[in-house]
Chain A
Amino acid sequence: NAGVTQTPKFQVLKTGQSMTLQCAQDMNHNSMYWYRQDPGMGLRLIYYSASEGTTDKGEVPNGYNVSRLNKREFSLRLESAAPSQTSVYFCASSGTYYEQYFGPGTRLTVT
């Protein structure tokens, strides 16, 4: 039982490059989330998927797209990376009582 897994763990991109962050959970949770964490800003919600087949914007969605591939997997895509997207990205999933469980994170640097 791995919980929430994320790939890759680290990534360096040049401005304008694209990439997809992958997330999977094996807890049979309906809801999944993407957050970014920046120094002094705390954790901020980018996008979420309340259930398979639905996605919604969070607090900071600009520059990102998401895909809920199936119940287990939720990916985050940066189409044209910018230095402002340098951050640590966390995926999370939640069960019945909205408790969220986080993956190990992806540390992204955009130069």
Chain B
Amino acid sequence: QKEVEQNSGPLSVPEGAIASLNCTYSDRGSQSFFWYRQYSGKSPELIMSIYSNGDKEDGRFTAQLNKASQYVSLLIRDSQPSDSATYLCAVSLGGGADGLTFGKGTHLIIQP
């Protein structure tokens, strides 16, 4: 049974600070890792993908992957109130197009 675990929050961060979101996964064969942002009442929106160990940066977002520890994280620098949302971690075995396993999400609140 593939599992993806996230702290449900809420995680409250002051505006301008760094928000750090964490995710662990159970299947060592996992190869593809994604972060989605979901605003209330809206659909998930892909914000980052990462496939190899290390850091990947895109604008204010940095994804970090440690396969040995089965750990994925997302850092959001210079947090803005518009970053307030639920962040979903998703994992794929990557060997085929057999869908993603999602965590239940972390609710992030950026305080002005």
Contacts and interface: CB of A to CB of B under 8 A. Distances in A.
Interface string B82-96: 000000101010101
A64 interface: no
Contacts of B71: none
Would you call the interface of chain B mostly helix, strand, loop, or mixed?
Answer: loop
B44 A45 contact: no
Nearest to B51: A97
A50 B104 contact: no
Interface string A32-53: 0100000011111100101100
Contacts of A48: 97-99
A9 to B, nearest CB: 11
A24 to B, nearest CB: 15
B24 to A, nearest CB: 15
A97 B105 CA distance: 22
Nearest to B49: A99
Contacts of A51: 97
Interface of A: 30-31, 33, 40-45, 48, 50-51, 56, 58, 90, 94, 97-105
11 contacts: A43-B44, A43-B100, A45-B100, A50-B97, A94-B97, A97-B32, A97-B51, A98-B97, A98-B100, A102-B45, A104-B43
